[in-house]
Amino acid sequence: MLEHLNREVYAAGEVIFHAGDTGDSAYIVEDGSVEVCVNTPDGEQVVKQIGKGELFGEIALIDHKPRTATVRVREKAVLIPIHRKLVGELLEKTDPIVRHLLLLVMERFRGNGTPARNPASATESALDLTQRNKLRGEATQKLAMAHDITRALNKDEFALYYQPICDLGSGKIAGFEALIRWHHPDKGTISPLDFLWLAEHTGQIRDIGLWTLERACRDWPTLRRQTEHAAPFVSVNMSASQLTGEGFVEAVSGILNRHSMPSRELKLELTETVIINNPEQALGLLGRLTELNIRLALDDYGTGYSGLDSLQRYPIATMKIDRAFISNMQSSAHSREIVTSSINLAHSLGMDVIAEGIETGEAHEALLGLNCNYGQGWHFGRPAALH
Ligand code: C2E
Ligand code: CA
Ligand code: CA
């Protein structure tokens, strides 16, 4: 059964690890319980019981030193191992001061082989019990979910849904936006907003991003048959952290080749965060993508910083006006004004425009009147699995 993959089952009495072993994993207790035994320098043994939903072996996630405790199973236990690789990147991205403090505390905790009496107390002594439990609970939950994401990638639990993008003049489908869904074996379908933020923190977004591109290119011949447009495209979302990973352009180019996909028909949607995070690096990267003939779209236009500078300086072919302005157009003169001036600005810079979130015929008409090129929204079709 899927939900039992990547779990380890231990019988009562089994030792998970000994003090002195090298450690590279922590464990979440899904069921049963274990006892953590620490020998203090004065020969005393401190034993702590760890039960369902709790985490142990966590220090190995942070330093690379031998285990300070022996952990033995009390009653038959189901454990989810969390490998150091999973948090390595999180730690790298942590504020340097926090990281330094964490390592310092860890050093003290390990200092002269003198573990604190309570295996967990050194890092947490400054917090009261409620705060401590809350922090532990949140961290444990996140780790479990990150572990789940890895399994989802390996077990093909992600799916791409496609939403049509229509030419407002002719009403024909011009392209599709690929939107990820997670068909979780226990939790049902999970929206991207509920797991991508964590994948970004752990760096798993890069593998997800490559999977998404691979899948969209694989599906493209089927999707393409649903359009008669002169310049059809499939649009794939890219978050800032996946773009800045090493070898991204090469990976994209490899995927296009493998699927014999014309690069002109792939659009990458990015937000201003990519540019704001590192303007110079973005200029180089976006330039290399357009050299491959890939078109770029600026997503969620209007919600962020929206410097005119980014529109002019970067090779962006398409502006996507955020749904918030489109859905308010009918009721708010302010939104209408923003939409009108954004369309005019984009056109004056040689870009085409997609309006997001068109839910009604009136919105369609109004945008057509403003010379908007394309539209996307429930009025034209919801995101759906490939058929
Ligand atoms: P987004 O890029 O702005 O995508 C448009 C979102 O608006 C989608 O939500 C879509 O289902 C929804 N939508 C489309 N038309 C309408 C409409 O007429 N009315 C309303 N109320 N909503 C509409 P979804 O699929 O939940 O995706 C949410 C966000 O998650 C996306 O926002 C995007 O930022 C991110 N995302 C989705 N798939 C991926 C992916 O494969 N990779 C990355 N990096 N991000 C993704
Ligand atoms: Ca998008
Ligand atoms: Ca958007």
Q: 29-33, 77-81, 307-311, 340-344: which has the minimum mean pLDDT? A: 307-311
Here the contacts of 41-45 (C-beta below 8 Å, separation 24 or greater) are 41/113, 41/114
CA distances from 267 to 25, 262, 296 (A): 39, 11, 5
Considering only CA atoms, which residue is closest to atom 5 of ligand 1? 356
Q: Which atom of ligand 1 is nearest to 320's Cα? A: 3
Mean pLDDT of the chain: 88
Most confident of 64-68, 140-144, 204-208, 215-219: 215-219
Average pLDDT of 326-347? 93
Q: pLDDT at residue 309 above 80? A: no
Q: What is the pLDDT of residue 121?
A: 46
| 23 within ligand 1 shell (Cβ under 6 A) | no
Q: Which of 237, 255, 296, 379 to mutate to test the pocket of ligand 1 (most atoms within 8 A of CB)?
A: 237
Most confident of 64-73, 171-180, 239-248: 171-180
Dmax (CA) for the chain in angstroms is 83
| 212 within ligand 1 shell (Cβ under 6 A) | yes
Q: pLDDT at residue 131 above 70? A: no
Those residues whose C-beta lies under 8 Å from the C-beta of residue 8, and which sit 6 or more positions away, are 78, 79, 80, 81
Q: How confident is the model at residue 192 (pLDDT cuts 50, 70, 90)?
A: very high
CA distances from 107 to 24, 59, 68, 101 (A): 17, 11, 12, 10
| 179 within ligand 1 shell (Cβ under 6 A) | yes
Radius of gyration of the chain from its Cα atoms, rounded to whole angstroms: 26
- Residue 96's φ and ψ, nearest 5 degrees, are -55, -35
CA distance 37 to 71: 6
Considering only CA atoms, which residue is closest to atom 33 of ligand 1? 237
Most confident of 93-97, 193-197, 304-308: 193-197
CA distance 101 to 8: 33
Q: How confident is the model at residue 186 (pLDDT cuts 50, 70, 90)?
A: very high
Please write the tens of the pLDDT for every residue from 112-124.
444 444 444 444 4
Task: Give Cα 175 distance to the centre of its chain.
Answer: 24
Let me know the angle formed at the C-alpha of 226 by 301 and 249, rounded to the nearest 5 degrees.
50
Query: What is the number of the ligand closest to the CA of 300?
Result: 3
Q: Which residues pair with 83 in a beta bridge?
A: 25
Q: Which atom of ligand 1 is nearest to 322's Cα? A: 3
Q: Which residues pair with 50 in a beta bridge?
A: 34
Q: What is the pLDDT of residue 277?
A: 82
| 191 within ligand 1 shell (Cβ under 6 A) | yes
In single-letter form, the type of residue at position 75 comes to: E
Those residues whose C-beta lies under 8 Å from the C-beta of residue 158, and which sit 6 or more positions away, are 152, 180, 181, 182, 183, 208, 211, 212
Q: What is the pLDDT of residue 362?
A: 94
Q: What is the pLDDT of residue 90?
A: 82
Q: 99-108, 171-180, 351-360: which has the minimum mean pLDDT? A: 99-108
Q: What is the pLDDT of residue 286?
A: 94
Residue 75, classed as helix, strand or coil, is strand
Closest to 192 (Cα-Cα) out of 383, 386, 323: 383
Q: pLDDT at residue 367 above 50? A: yes
Those residues whose C-beta lies under 8 Å from the C-beta of residue 115, and which sit 6 or more positions away, are 38, 40, 68, 69, 109
